[in-house]
Each structure stands twice: as C-alpha cells, then as structure tokens.
Amino acid sequence: MTSQPNASDEPTARADEQRDETPADAGETGPADGPDAADGEPEIVDGRTIEHLLTDHERDIASTAEGTDATAAKRPSLDLPRLELGRRDFMKAGAAVGAMSGLAGCTSILADEDDDSGGAAGSGEHSVAPGEHDEYYGFLSGGHTGEIRVVGLPSMRELMRIPVFQTESARGYGHDAKSSRMLEEEGDGHVWGDTHHPRVSQTDNDYDGRWLFVNDKANGRMARVDLEYFETDAITNVPNCQGVHGACMQLPDTQLVFGVGEFRVPMPNDGRDVQSPDEYGSVITAIDPETMDVEWQVEVDGNMDNGDGGKEGRWFFATGYNSEEGTTEGEMARSDRDYVKAFDIPAIWDAVESGQYEEISGVPVVDGTKDSPLNEGDRPIVRYVATPKSPHGVSVTPNGKYAIASGKLDPSCTVIDIEAIAEVDDPQDAIVGQPRIGMGPLHTAYDGRGHAYTTTFIDSEVVKWDYEAAVEAEAGSEEPVVDRHDVHYNPGHLIAAESYTASPQGDYLVSLNKLSKDRFLPVGPIHPENDQLFHIGDDDAGMQLVKDKPSYPEPHDASIVHKDKIDPAKTWDPDDYELEYVAEGEESFERVDDSTVEIEMWARRNEYAFPEVTLREGDEVRLKISNIETTSDVIHSIAIPEYDINLALAPQDTREVTFTADQPGVFWAYCAYFCSALHLEMRSRILVEPSA
C-alpha cells in the first residue's frame, strides 16, 4: 500500500484495478501481500460492496501522508480528468473515483466544490466574545488518554479536563486516598483507560445535569462523573468482559446504565477455553446508576459494538459485528449481514427475578444467544435484526420511533421501527427504511426537526437526511438525503446539541474527525484530530461549517448539554465528602506510635498551618488537609517532592493521603497552584530525620 495515485491513470483504469480486488481475495491474501497481490477474477462491483473502496482509501491515506513532505507541499495540484485536486482532496478523490466505478450517481461529491473549508477561524456569528459565556457544555471523551474534556460551544474553547481512568497531577487525581483507592480497587491498578461514550444522565428524557457515565474500552470498566464537582466519583470494574465499549442508559429516567461488551473472551476469563473461540462470549451489562453495582448481564452471539436506549424504557439496542465469531479480520468481515440486537429490558428482569440465569463471577448472566430457551416463545429477551454490514453506530430518534443503525461496511443506514419490534413475528419486518447514505456510515445524530445527520468515514462527509422520507422511499434510495457537507477528514462520531434527548436543540453539530492531515500547523508525526463545528439551524441555508478545533487524541463521542441544565459547584460543600474539614485552630500533629504520624492541617493564602513538620525516617504519615478559603477560584495544592504527591485543593475541599517517609532529608512541600502574589513563598519544610 505504498503507491501514490498516478496522475495519468484514467478513472476507468483505476476502477478496473479495483475490481480485481475482490473481497474474497482481500480476505485470503493477508496483510503482508497488500492489495496488488490479488489476482482473482474481475468482479463487477456491486454498489453495496465497499472492500475495494476501503483498500483504495488506505492507499490514499498512505499517499497523502507522503504528500506532507516539503516537496510535495509545493506541488499545487494533481490533474485527473474532471477533477482538480489539491493535496487536501486526495482522500475524497479516492472515494469519488472509487464510487464512480461502482455507482451511477454520487455526483454531489464531485459537485460540492465550495466546501467552506477555508480556515480555522470561526465565523463571526458563531463566535463568543472574550469574557462571554458559551451556550453549551460539550463533554468529549478523551479516548486513550482515559479522560473527559469539557468544551464550550459554540466557541469550542476547552474549559476543563476530567481525569477518569488515568492519574492527573493537576487535579490531584490518583494522588489523594479516595481517588487512588478507586483506581486501585476498580481497576486492578491499571494506569490508563479508553473512554469513548460519555452520556449525561436524564430525567423524563431530558438532561438533569447530575452525572455523566463513560466506558473504558481497554479494561472493561464504567465510570461515573459527578457534574456538580466535575469529578469522577465512582468506577465499576465489569466482570466477564474485556472491554466495555458502547455506553448508554435506560430512559426516560436513567434507571440503568448499559455497557456494551465488545471483545469476545472466555467467561470468566481465568485461563479456561483459551484455545476454544467458540466458547468465548460477549455480554451487555446493566449497572445501577446510584450504587454503580452490576445488576445483570446478558450474553449474546457475536461481537457487540455501540448501544442506545429507547425513549420509553422497554428497549435497548446494540449494534454488532463479527456474527461470524471469527478471531481474525478476514473472518470477522465475511458475512454481508450482522445484527442489531434489541434487548427487552422488562423481559430480562423477569428472567433474572425468576432465577433463569447462571451466576458467573458473582453476577447473574442471562442467556440471550439465539438458541437460548429464553429467546423462544412470544416474549424473547433479545431480538436479532439482521442488517448490512458490520453495523457500527446506533441511535434512537428523538421521538422514540426509530432506532437507526449505520452500515459501516455498507453504504446504507437501517431504520428500525421500535414499536414494531414487539409486534412482528420476524424481526426483519421491523426494518422500515434503508436509505443509501454514502461510503462508510458510522454514527447518526438528530436536530429534532426530523433530520438525521450521519458521518461517512470513507466519503468524509456529514450527510443530512430525512428519516420519515427514508421510511417512504425504496430501500437503497438516495432520495431522503437533503444535504451533504465535506468534513476534514474521515469522521467517526458526530453529535448535535442534546441529540440524545427527546428534544434536541437543533442549532449546532460537531463532527469528530479522525484525521486532520494538513489542516493545522504541523506538530510532528502524530497529528491532532479535528473537531468541526457546524451550524445546522437553518435548513434553507444548509449545514454551515463554522469552526475547526484541533483535538488531542482522541475524542470518540460527545454529549452536548445546554448550560442551564448543569449547575456546577463554585466551592466544595464539606457535607459532600466523607472527610472531616480541618478549620483554622483545629490543626494537629500526632505521633500515634513509634512509626505512625497523623497530621491534620489547612492551607490558605499564603501558608500552611504548619510551616515545618519533623518526621522520622520510616514513619507512615497520614496527612489530611483542607483549603480553608471561601473565595471561589482560590485553589491551592500541596506538592510533596520525592513522594509523588500533589493534592489539588479547591476552596473548602479536604483531601487525604498516606505515605511512608522512607527518604531522609529536607523536602519543601509547596503549593503548585499559582494562588497569590506570595504563592512562591507558600511552603512547608518537611524534615525527615535519619533513623540513627
């Protein structure tokens, strides 16, 4: 996959070349051979098959990467018949030329020349002046940084980061006793996570601003962030599954939080069945949002992927790939259809309550595989709806009528009638629409006016379509599409303001693009991603690209919540934590025994209660400290060098840490938050006397 698109190639020649790369060949040749090794019978490419486009797409990524050297940057454009291509357009050209080989239409891709892609600066109407506040909170996952990022919309200014699965010294997360205990006990000491899907709790199908839940795809956990303090307050280690990928809730009132298990593994994964992939399983997990306890799990066939809850509380949908239950890429992408699974939540509860489960790792696991007795009869617990092909995103329309799944390896989205799911004998009859969206559809968001917006990874577009029109139209029709807009480049998720509620705001949408290529100043070989803001409030004007925001790798999904629905604390309320506040005059230093010391102290501008602390080598020290400031934004910390400690202390907050003073010497504990003119003087001398 090293060849650059050849300027002299006719589009038709390229198309022939692609036809040689049949899906079957791609599966058999293996990664080392690359696409050129395929020499099977030419196959007429069916419009619904895109393996050749994927191959082409990979090649274009390679060639564009080559184009980032200085020489290539000077090359203004590359001539192809009918197409004037700059470097930026390579990706699209690959997709468009490929598309021409397989499809009659798709002229819109070629025609859409004016794509507003001009600059990174925001347009005036959608900017936020210095000192003014944004309209929305955007909560973006941080992917393999393990965190949540908070941005304001429409400015796209990053406001805060919330560490979830990783330690973060600036917030003292993983430094103080409570957060380290949480990371230790619910993560077996893992130091990172992979957050994908941040979902904000709802009451009556609207954001209540209480919590945000987010998955850990790496180490199979679900976390809860308290949105009063913007702080992770609970983590649950989910048994019987390797990665929790999709995350969503039972609505309308966040009765349960669901984690969708992705990788199939033995259950429990304790060394049994390692050589028997047939025995591996994949589960969804239901978690109580208050206690964060795992209530039950349901095992299914195949891999699962993303999930979304219906608005009325009965159904929960998960997409899946690998219904083949293969273990290699070739095996996983063989079938033309995989399943959207519709979970009947009350029926699952019935099974749990009547003891129809197997307890694995202390959790009731209900059998939801296709052959399960619980899927016979007139109230199956899981209905398997076959959709093309490796469906990825699934999201329920704001009115609760449809679940829409994106084809990923098929250009269509599948519209499933949620009410019909309960009524039809054959789950396939619940499919009421299958519009053709574009190449590589991944995720869908809503504006509340009947439009769906779907990202197409390969076409690099956001496609706006009318989902009722899709129900009326023939399967495979492009007619429901009302607008399409380039993004830069290769989008994964997109999210519209309050799209996951029953009443989206309909004004803004963010496309989370995986590749930024030459969109920003170069910063070395790892590029930022590109989050692009669209104004979608004017259906006549169409989607307007308003802003580019480079993003540290790598946000997947986001939730956008109106500012009036979040009520963050300005200072801590000592009633909200377990530790007792240490007021001025209550400071104490107590030697409990020969090797144990307990210190309770406070911090304020520009001092600690104790300017000096004397310890003995080997002392176990329990240090509790309160920030006794009442003024908001006056934050202190206590950093203790050599002991890897930095406690961040917001006003009225109290934190605790235990460490062993095993290093004799003098250590200046200091405040790491620049808090006042005398900040540099804010310190305490810690003397650790050698043990004779």
Asked whether the beta carbons of 295 and 348 are under 8 A apart, the reply is no
Residues in CB range of 487: below 8 A, 6 or more apart: 455, 460, 461, 462, 511, 513, 530, 532, 545
Amino acid at 15: A
Q: Is 199 in the site for ligand CUK (CB under 6 A)?
A: no
Q: Is 221 in the site for ligand CUK (CB under 6 A)?
A: no
List the structure tokens of 682.
């804010």
**Binders of ligand CUK among 305-344, rule CB under 6 A?**
306
Residues in CB range of 226: below 8 A, 6 or more apart: 210, 211, 232, 233
**Residue 223, beta-bridge partner list:** 214, 235
Asked whether the beta carbons of 317 and 307 are under 8 A apart, the reply is yes
For ligand CUA, which is the closer residue by CB, 81 or 611? 611
Helix (H) or strand (E) holding 349: helix 345-353
167 binds, among ligand CUK, ligand CUA, none (CB under 5 to 8 A by kind): none
> Measured between alpha carbons, how far is 644 from 633 in angstroms, rounded to an integer?
25
The minimum distance between CB 406 and ligand CUK, in angstroms, equals 9
Beta strands per DSSP E along 187-228: 199-203, 206-216, 221-226
> Measured between alpha carbons, how far is 389 from 336 in angstroms, rounded to an integer?
5
**Binders of ligand CUK among 501-560, rule CB under 6 A?**
556-557
557 binds, among ligand CUK, ligand CUA, none (CB under 5 to 8 A by kind): ligand CUK
For ligand CUK, which is the closer residue by CB, 101 or 499? 499
> Measured between alpha carbons, how far is 546 from 438 in angstroms, rounded to an integer?
23
**Binders of ligand CUK among 598-637, rule CB under 6 A?**
none
Q: Which of 175, 224, 443, 517 binds ligand CUK (CB under 6 A)?
A: 443
For ligand CUK, which is the closer residue by CB, 5 or 246? 246
Q: What is the DSSP letter of 19?
A: H
Q: Is 245 in the site for ligand CUK (CB under 6 A)?
A: yes
For ligand CUA, which is the closer residue by CB, 602 or 673? 673
Which of the ranges 57-65, 71-79, 471-479, 674-682 carries the binding residues for ligand CUA, by CB under 6 A? Answer: 674-682
190 binds, among ligand CUK, ligand CUA, none (CB under 5 to 8 A by kind): none
688 binds, among ligand CUK, ligand CUA, none (CB under 5 to 8 A by kind): none
674 binds, among ligand CUK, ligand CUA, none (CB under 5 to 8 A by kind): ligand CUA
306 binds, among ligand CUA, ligand CUK, none (CB under 5 to 8 A by kind): ligand CUK
Q: Is 149 in the site for ligand CUK (CB under 6 A)?
A: no
> Measured between alpha carbons, how far is 267 from 270 in angstroms, rounded to an integer?
8
392 binds, among ligand CUK, ligand CUA, none (CB under 5 to 8 A by kind): ligand CUK
CB neighbours of residue 180 within 10 Å: 17
Which letter, b or e, does each residue of 296-330 get, where b requires 16 or more Cβ atoms within 10 Å of its Cβ?
bbbbbbbbbbbbbbbbebbbbbbbbbbbebbeeeb
The minimum distance between CB 681 and ligand CUA, in angstroms, equals 9
Q: Is 673 in the site for ligand CUA (CB under 6 A)?
A: yes
Which of the ranges 126-134, 177-185, 248-256, 666-674 carries the binding residues for ligand CUA, by CB under 6 A? Answer: 666-674
Q: Is 247 in the site for ligand CUK (CB under 6 A)?
A: no
List the structure tokens of 472.
């009326």
For ligand CUK, which is the closer residue by CB, 243 or 326? 243
The minimum distance between CB 457 and ligand CUK, in angstroms, equals 8
In sign, the C-alpha dihedral spanning 330, 29, 459, 468 is negative
Q: Is 408 in the site for ligand CUK (CB under 6 A)?
A: no
535 binds, among ligand CUA, ligand CUK, none (CB under 5 to 8 A by kind): none
Q: Is 679 in the site for ligand CUA (CB under 6 A)?
A: yes
CB neighbours of residue 90 within 10 Å: 23
Q: Is 392 in the site for ligand CUK (CB under 6 A)?
A: yes
Q: Which of 221, 464, 488, 636 binds ligand CUA (CB under 6 A)?
A: 636
Q: Is 671 in the site for ligand CUA (CB under 6 A)?
A: yes
Q: Is 610 in the site for ligand CUA (CB under 6 A)?
A: no
> Measured between alpha carbons, how far is 157 from 145 in angstroms, rounded to an integer?
19
For ligand CUA, which is the closer residue by CB, 562 or 679? 679
The closest of 642, 643, 624, 639 to 674, measured between CA atoms, is 639
> Measured between alpha carbons, how far is 303 from 300 in angstroms, rounded to an integer?
8
For ligand CUK, which is the closer residue by CB, 234 or 244? 244
Maximum separation of any 2 CA atoms in the chain, in Å? 87
Asked whether the beta carbons of 412 and 388 are under 8 A apart, the reply is yes
Quote the radius of gyration of the chain (alpha carbons, Å).
27
The closest of 335, 647, 312 to 320, measured between CA atoms, is 335
Q: What is the DSSP letter of 436?
A: B
679 binds, among ligand CUK, ligand CUA, none (CB under 5 to 8 A by kind): ligand CUA
The closest of 373, 295, 307 to 340, measured between CA atoms, is 307
Which of the ranges 90-98, 210-218, 402-410, 675-683 carries the binding residues for ligand CUA, by CB under 6 A? Answer: 675-683
> Measured between alpha carbons, how far is 69 from 140 in angstroms, rounded to an integer?
32
Residues in contact with ligand CUA by the rule CB under 6 A:
636, 671, 673-675, 679, 682
Contacting positions for ligand CUK (CB under 6 A): 196-197, 245, 306, 392-393, 442-443, 492-493, 556-557
